[in-house]
């Protein structure tokens, strides 16, 4: 099995799906000859040509709008945001057009489109190139939202997203692009949307996380095992909308103490909704308050020390976990 980086996994998924289905096209800023700002689309233009790998103007609203039109015409567009921070420029097209199409037309129309691109902090991108905007779309009926944390899932979930008949927002954490590698078997690799993965089993404490925060969660779990003899179970959501509530509730009923970990800001994040669902549906099984670890409610600074201050990390997860264990 070849050792594949997160970035290579994204690229492989695009190649394979474009070879499998001639209706799959790629659109975005510099995705063609240049191969994308992070080279996620490198080589696609050479193999598939300018009719299927389309360079666009610097206008996210135009890119998403053209993608919606292409999808309505029968294609399966994969549109790239050069940085997911700027998906806000295409917000109206995604939320008011793509997400509502199937409902507005009584199921007679569909928008099988993927909006993908790099998100997240930890690379000194400062306030305009470090955001985690997943919560902006988390409450929108008609969308699916995905955030892979491993190279295997980056490939398998992207392939599933491209084949899905609903619009999918696909967040790739830029810090992981070249940081992590994984053995991925050759051949068909497809990961179903809507199913969480248990990355580590345990009986004393539950971590629920996703995306770039999985790395800190696993590091914290290992430290707690070594230093405190605590067995931590770690659930990786993978798909954020719809998220796998049953997997979470089943684990809460067994483990009784939970810490929710996200890189996004604390207020109004996905951890907040999951916390509410646990409180509503599994309160009787809790032995301690539901805890959250997240970024501070502040713009992301450029300076390395300030960025580290705002972001979560394994130390912060361990400290919060010990508070819940001691409750």
pLDDT one-digit tens code per residue, 206-237: 999 999 999 999 999 999 999 999 999 999 99
Is the predicted pLDDT of residue 245 greater than 80, yes or no? yes
Are both 266 and 146 inside the same structural domain? no
Last residue in a domain, options 154, 183, 212 = 183
Number of Cβ within a 10 Å radius of residue 89: 16
Q: Which two tokens stand for residue 258?
A: 């939970």
Are both 172 and 26 inside the same structural domain? yes
Number of Cβ within a 10 Å radius of residue 36: 23
Last residue in a domain, options 126, 157, 183 = 183
Q: CA quadruple 188, 145, 250, 220: dihedral positive or negative?
A: positive
Asked whether residue 295 is assigned to any structural domain, the reply reads yes
Q: What is the pLDDT, as a whole number, of residue 230?
A: 98
Please state, in angstroms and rounded to a whole number, the distance separating the CA atoms of residues 245 and 312.
24
Asked whether residue 309 is assigned to any structural domain, the reply reads yes
Cβ-proximal residues to 254 (8 Å cutoff; 6+ apart), any chain? 203
* Backbone dihedral region for residue 272 (phi beyond 0: left; psi -120 to 50: alpha; all else: beta): alpha
Are both 216 and 100 inside the same structural domain? no
Q: What is the pLDDT, as a whole number, of residue 125?
A: 92
Q: What is the pLDDT, as a whole number, of residue 14?
A: 98
User: Counting Cβ atoms within 10 Å, is residue 144 exposed (0-12), middle (13-18) or buried (19+)?
Assistant: buried
> What's the whole-number average pLDDT of the chain?
97
Are both 127 and 224 inside the same structural domain? no
Are both 35 and 155 inside the same structural domain? yes
Is the predicted pLDDT of residue 112 greater than 90, yes or no? yes
Q: What is the pLDDT, as a whole number, of residue 113?
A: 98
* Domain that includes residue 112, residue range: 3-183
Number of Cβ within a 10 Å radius of residue 98: 28
User: Counting Cβ atoms within 10 Å, is residue 70 exposed (0-12), middle (13-18) or buried (19+)?
Assistant: buried
Is the predicted pLDDT of residue 244 greater than 90, yes or no? yes
Number of Cβ within a 10 Å radius of residue 276: 11
CATH code, 47? 3.40.50.970
Asked whether residue 105 is assigned to any structural domain, the reply reads yes
Cα-flanking dihedrals φ and ψ of residue 270, to 5°? -65, -35
Q: What is the pLDDT, as a whole number, of residue 74?
A: 97
Catalytic residue among 45, 105, 129, 173: 129
Are both 176 and 210 inside the same structural domain? no
Q: Which helix (H) or strand (E) holds 292?
A: strand 291-295
Please state, in angstroms and rounded to a whole number, the distance separating the CA atoms of residues 10 and 14.
6
Asked whether residue 16 is assigned to any structural domain, the reply reads yes
Are both 204 and 174 inside the same structural domain? no
| Residue entry with tokens 């400290």 | 319
**pLDDT grade for 187, boundaries at 50, 70 and 90:** confident
Cβ-proximal residues to 129 (8 Å cutoff; 6+ apart), any chain? 83, 85, 123
Is the predicted pLDDT of residue 2 greater than 90, yes or no? no
Is the predicted pLDDT of residue 1 greater than 90, yes or no? no
Q: What is the mean pLDDT of residues 7-22?
A: 97
Q: What percent of the chain has pLDDT over 90?
A: 98
Instruction: Report pLDDT digits (tens) over 271-286.
Output: 999 999 999 999 999 9
Instruction: Report pLDDT digits (tens) over 35-80.
Output: 999 999 999 999 999 999 999 999 999 999 999 999 999 999 999 9
| Residue entry with tokens 């409902």 | 103
What is the domain count for the chain? Answer: 2
Q: What is the 3-state secondary structure (H, E, C) of 172-192?
A: EEHHHCCCCEEECCCCCCCCC
Cβ-proximal residues to 253 (8 Å cutoff; 6+ apart), any chain? 282, 285
Query: Judging by DSSP bridges, how do beta strands 76-80 and 239-241 pair with one another?
Result: unpaired
Asked if 105 is an active-site residue, the reply is no
Last residue in a domain, options 122, 152, 183 = 183
Is the predicted pLDDT of residue 98 greater than 90, yes or no? yes
Q: In sequence order, what DSSP letters do the residues of 208-246 get, joined into one string?
A: EE-TTHHHHHHHHHHHHHHHH---EEEEE--EEET--HH
Are both 228 and 310 inside the same structural domain? yes
Asked whether residue 191 is assigned to any structural domain, the reply reads no
**pLDDT grade for 120, boundaries at 50, 70 and 90:** very high
Asked whether residue 192 is assigned to any structural domain, the reply reads no
Please state, in angstroms and rounded to a whole number, the distance separating the CA atoms of residues 64 and 87.
9
| Residue entry with tokens 């050792």 | 3
Q: Which two tokens stand for residue 68?
A: 């919606």
Instruction: Report pLDDT digits (tens) over 304-327.
Output: 999 999 999 999 999 999 999 999
Q: What is the mean pLDDT of residues 74-89?
A: 97
Contact (CB, 8 A) for 177 and 226: no
- Considering just the CA atoms, what is the radius of gyration of the chain in Å? 20
Are both 174 and 212 inside the same structural domain? no
Task: Say if pTM beats, i.e. exceeds, 0.75.
Answer: yes
Instruction: Report pLDDT digits (tens) over 140-173.
Output: 999 999 999 999 999 999 999 999 999 999 999 9
CATH code, 306? 3.40.50.920
C-alpha count within 13 angstroms, C-beta hemisphere, residue 170: 30
- Bridge partners of 29? none
Are both 61 and 176 inside the same structural domain? yes
Are both 7 and 118 inside the same structural domain? yes
């Amino acid at each position: 099995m070849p050792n594949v980086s997160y970035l290579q996994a994204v690229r492989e998924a695009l190649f394979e799906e474009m070879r499998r289905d001639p209706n799959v096209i790629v659109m975005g800023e510099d995705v063609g000859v240049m191969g994308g700002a992070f080279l996620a689309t490198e080589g696609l233009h050479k193999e598939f040509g300018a009719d299927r790998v389309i360079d666009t103007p610097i206008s996210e609203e135009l890119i998403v709008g053209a993608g919606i039109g292409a999808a309505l015409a029968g294609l399966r567009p994969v549109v790239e945001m050069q940085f997911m921070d700027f998906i806000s420029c295409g917000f109206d097209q995604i939320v008011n057009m793509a997400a509502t199409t199937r409902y507005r037309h009584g199921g007679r129309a569909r928008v099988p489109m993927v909006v993908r691109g790099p998100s997240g902090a930890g690379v000194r991108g400062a306030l305009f190139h470090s955001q985690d905007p997943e919560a902006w779309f988390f409450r929108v009926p008609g969308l699916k939202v995905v955030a892979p944390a491993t190279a295997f899932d980056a490939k398998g979930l992207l392939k599933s997203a491209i084949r899905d008949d609903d619009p999918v927002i696909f967040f790739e954490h830029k810090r992981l692009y070249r940081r992590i590698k994984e053995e991925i078997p050759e051949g068909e690799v497809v990961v179903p949307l809507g199913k969480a993965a248990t990355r580590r089993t345990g009986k004393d404490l539950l971590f629920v996380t996703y995306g770039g925060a999985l790395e800190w969660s696993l590091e914290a779990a290992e430290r707690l095992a070594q230093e405190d003899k605590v067995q931590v179970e770690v659930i990786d959501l993978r798909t954020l909308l719809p998220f796998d509530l049953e997997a979470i509730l089943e684990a809460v009923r067994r483990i009784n103490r939970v810490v929710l970990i996200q890189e996004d800001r604390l207020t109004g994040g996905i951890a907040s909704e999951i916390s509410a669902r646990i409180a509503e549906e599994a309160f009787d099984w809790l032995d301690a308050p539901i805890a959250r670890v997240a970024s501070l409610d502040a713009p992301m600074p450029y300076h390395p020390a300030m960025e580290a201050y705002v972001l979560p990390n394994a130390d912060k997860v361990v400290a919060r976990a010990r508070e819940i264990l001691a409750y």
